[in-house]
Homo-oligomer: A and B are copies of this chain.
Amino acid sequence: MRSAGFDRDEVLEKITDAFWENGYEATSIGVLESATGLKRQSLYNAFGNKDAMFESALNAYQQRVNARLLQTLENPDPRAALHDFFARQATILLDAGQPSGCLVSGAQQELANRGETLGENMRSLLLGQHSTLVEVFERWQDAGKLTSDANPAALAAIVMGALRGQAVLARAACSRDLVASAAETLPEMFERYLV
């Protein structure tokens, strides 16, 4: 979609990358102007204020990154699914063409304890991700592929934690080998619960 002489999707991608690279607080309107090459009034007209731009960036990120990751869990074989899930996350995190780390993890850490709408939205996003993962583990458990003593809510929380941990390691530019070897070891840790 084009508006006011620029490609809205292309600009939104630049806005998303700026928030991804710098986090919410450190991404000032000045940073967004430099990233997009547009004046603040054009940005405000097209996307609303900084918080509205951030919401649009989160939605764009979810479609671009999270959806690709969650697809792997549609595999009915939990062993293969978990392997592909963590391998794909490592691939995304180590992709040199993208900002490092994870926009959602970073924003949750920065914003999840705030009182206002932005904090509320981040908490909803977190709970939504957790529910999606709980459903995956419950589906496997119902199909008899997960031991009956496995706790889907706890395992879902642990997967979310593992994603965030890998994102911090990748963001801190620890060795690629470390992120990759953790991604290989993570699925093994679920063996205990696989039938």
Interface residues of A (CB under 8 A from B): 21, 23, 25-26, 99-101, 105-106, 108-110, 112-113, 122-123, 126-127, 130, 151, 153-155, 157-158, 160-169, 171-174, 178-179, 181-182, 184-186, 188-192
B161 touches A166 (CB 8 A): yes
Complex formed: what's the CA distance from A190 to B154 in Å? 15
Q: Which of B99, B101, B188 contacts A192 (CB 8 A)?
A: B188
Complex formed: what's the CA distance from A171 to B154 in Å? 17
B123 touches A173 (CB 8 A): yes
A178 touches B157 (CB 8 A): yes
Complex formed: what's the CA distance from A150 to B21 in Å? 34
> What are the residues of chain B within 8 A of A100 when measuring CB–CB?
113
Q: Which of B26, B151, B166, B181 contacts A110 (CB 8 A)?
A: B26
Question: Nearest CB to that of A122 among chain B residues?
Answer: B172
A165 touches B154 (CB 8 A): no
A165 touches B161 (CB 8 A): yes
Smallest beta-carbon distance A92→chain B, Å: 15
- State whether A110 and B105 are in contact (beta carbons under 8 Å apart), knowing that A126-B168, A164-B168, A181-B157 are contacts in the complex: no
> What are the residues of chain B within 8 A of A25 when measuring CB–CB?
23, 25-26, 110
20 A-B pairs, CB-CB below 8 angstroms?
A23-B25, A99-B113, A101-B112, A105-B109, A109-B110, A113-B172, A122-B172, A123-B174, A126-B174, A154-B178, A157-B165, A157-B178, A157-B182, A160-B168, A160-B169, A161-B168, A162-B162, A165-B165, A189-B189, A189-B192
